[in-house]
Structure 1
Amino acid sequence: MTEQQNTQNVRLSRTMSAVDFAGYGVHEIAYVKPIPDDEGGITFAIHAADGTPLTVLPDREIAFAVVRQNDLEPVSAH
């Protein structure tokens, strides 16, 4: 990232309200997060960019595929 891009990003982050920031990417990004299931295994929760839970799936690759099928970009969250 260039210094100019970094400066623009800092300015943008200072001018965005909490509500604006929460909605950033809501129509482009979905987060995929591993979560424990009831049987001691791991499932994968999909959340909209604003944190809204969408679904839980048994496999990371399936979760990423479902996100892409809905014209969103999957991002791993921890």
Structure 2
Amino acid sequence: MKFEEQIDALKHLSPQAFLALGTGHVAYVRPVTINNQKVFSLHAADGTALTLVDTLEGACALAQQNDLDAVTVQ
């Protein structure tokens, strides 16, 4: 499938199908502040919060241990 066809296919995904993209394969990490302390929140691809971790490296390692590719969100 050509790149343009892939983009067109993504534009026509249902909201449910879009939410399912990356499920079981991708997790995202974002910094959050709790009680004036910066920690990192690890989420499943669908946005489900999985855990809080003290460091970005720890969050990425935890994702990797669970066979997930971690991406960061600012």
Other-structure match for 1:43: 39
| Aligned: 1:75 with 2:71 | yes
SS of aligned partner of 1:67: helix
Cα deviation digits, residues 46-75 of structure 1 (max 9, x gap): 000000110001111000000000000000
Does residue 25 (structure 1) correspond to residue 50 (structure 2)? The answer is no
Match of 1:54 among 50, 53, 61: 50
Does 2:59 match 1:63?
A: yes
Alignment partner of 2:31 out of 16, 31, 34: 34
TM-score (norm 1): 0.87
Segments of 4+ moved more than 4 angstroms: none
* Identity within the alignment, %: 33
Scaled by the length of structure 2, the TM-score of the pair is 0.92
Cα RMSD after superposing both structures:
0.9
For this pair of structures, how many residues does the alignment match? 73
Q: Which amino acid aligns with 1:49?
A: A
Structure 1, gaps ≥5 residues long: none
Equivalent residue letter for 1:68: Q
Q: Structure 2: 5+ residue runs without aligned partners?
A: none
More strand by share: 2
